[in-house]
Amino acid sequence: MNKFWSSAVTRTEPYIPGEQMETKDLLKLNTNENPYPPSPKVMEAIQAELNRKLRRYPSPTVDTLREKIATYYQLNADQVFVGNGSDEVLAFSFMAFFEPGKTIRFPNITYSFYPVYAKLFDISYEEVRLNRDFSIAVDKFFHSDGGVIFPNPNAPTSLYLNLTHIIDIIENNPNSVVIIDEAYIDFAKESAVSLVNKYENLLVVQTMSKSRSLAGLRVGYAMGHPMLIEALNRVKNSFNSYTIDRLAIAGAEAAIMDVDYFNEITQNVIRTREWVARDLKKIGFTLLPSDTNFLFIRHYKIEAYEIYALLKEQNILTRHFNKPLIDNYLRITIGTNDDMTVLISKLKSIISVKK
């Protein structure tokens, strides 16, 4: 604390991102990045944009990228907002749709950035307890005073909630906005984007950081009714006119258009996830059924933190959350088949030593 800090700074409890070590030979399975590189077409598009025009501001309205995203999801461009990663889109959404004095709801086990935003913007919140099986307690989200936000699939549980339940939550919150944070949806089943034309209180947020291998480029987007998109634009244009640079715009456009590459690497990740899940079960791990690019696992005889520490000693980074209810779980990102073969073999030796 310091006499020059605003009350906003003083009340913050900043988010702590996963470790971003750049050590060589590190197997980095802690921040759910895609193990495959971006599409070659992304590289070409950025290359083509790497010229003297960098001296010029990018488009403040990001029209061409919004149009391409809209086309992909069969929406209109005025139903799409683009931001600097889905984290920025979520921050703008908290400002645009949630109100100090009106309590919002999100699950007690979820993306740990939500309470961080809430503190910064002075929004009160209720952490709704998950069911015993870690699934979302759907009816506890009905009639929220201030709005609802949760990821689907949820993180770090990896569990997908069916659209019928999402519809129930949307229909039972007619006076507030329901934000579905679909960072991992491409590894799961149907997206709630299909509901955007029907429900004016639904905002669906996605990112290019996971399924499109572009965590390093910072592009996320929101889809919803044009009036919700206008609210996000008003906030953005009161904050920073240009949040996505020229190279990122070019790369993101190529990424959304290269559907074949996207399908191929997404299917690869899902196939790897399935065999890894089977192998982990064989060596005594319990897993929640994952619809994401990570697994949320625990072992019947070794503490999760101990596994985390032993793996880290051997240059394998996973993510452990020191939080009630989930402190005996590890979140492990799906890597390539080779990555996961190494992981399984290390886990086997950790377990055998323990016996």
- Which residues from 122-181 bind a second copy, rule CB under 8 A? 175-177
Can you tell me which of 152, 154, 209, 292 binds a second copy, judged by CB under 8 A?
209
Closest CB 43 distance from a second copy, rounded Å: 6
Sign, CA dihedral 129-113-304-154, equals positive
251 touching a second copy, by CB under 8 A = yes
Per-residue DSSP letters for 308-330?
HHHHHHTTEE-EE--STTTTT-E
5 touching a second copy, by CB under 8 A = yes
Residues in contact with a second copy, counted by CB under 8 A, come to a total of 85
103's tokens: 């309590």
Binding mask 265-304 for a second copy (x = CB under 8 A): ----------------------------------------
266's tokens: 């997404």
In whole angstroms, give the CA distance from residue 10 to residue 2.
9
Q: Identify which of residues 89 and 350 has a Cβ nearer to a second copy in the complex.
A: 89
252 touching a second copy, by CB under 8 A = no
Q: Quickly count: other Cβ atoms within 10 Å of residue 195's Cβ.
A: 19
State how far the alpha carbon of 252 is from the alpha carbons of 40, 184, 215, 218, in Å: 12, 17, 11, 9
Q: Which stretch, 35-43, 129-137, 292-300, 309-317, contacts a second copy (CB under 8 A)?
A: 35-43
Closest CA to 117 of 134, 97, 137: 97
Closest CB 138 distance from a second copy, rounded Å: 21
Q: Identify which of residues 203 and 307 has a Cβ nearer to a second copy in the complex.
A: 203
Backbone angles phi, psi at 164, to 5 degrees: -60, -40
Closest CB 127 distance from a second copy, rounded Å: 17
321 touching a second copy, by CB under 8 A = no
Q: Which stretch, 56-64, 158-166, 286-294, 313-321, contacts a second copy (CB under 8 A)?
A: 56-64
Q: Identify which of residues 246 and 346 has a Cβ nearer to a second copy in the complex.
A: 246
Q: Which residue has the tokens 């073969």?
A: 341
Can you tell me which of 172, 197, 233, 315 binds a second copy, judged by CB under 8 A?
233
Length of the chain (residues): 355
9 touching a second copy, by CB under 8 A = yes
66 touching a second copy, by CB under 8 A = no
Q: Which stretch, 207-215, 273-281, 296-304, 331-339, contacts a second copy (CB under 8 A)?
A: 207-215
Q: Which residue has the tokens 């759907």?
A: 138
Q: Which stretch, 29-37, 152-160, 275-283, 338-346, contacts a second copy (CB under 8 A)?
A: 29-37
Please give the torsion angle defined by the CA atoms of residues 134, 140, 142 and 146, in that order, rounded to the nearest 10 degrees: -90
37's tokens: 């590189």
Question: Which residues, 75 to 114, sit near a second copy by CB under 8 A?
Answer: 84-85, 87-88, 91, 95-99
140's tokens: 């506890």
Name residue 101's amino acid: G
Closest CB 299 distance from a second copy, rounded Å: 28
Name residue 84's amino acid: N
106's tokens: 């999100």
Q: Identify which of residues 100 and 309 has a Cβ nearer to a second copy in the complex.
A: 100
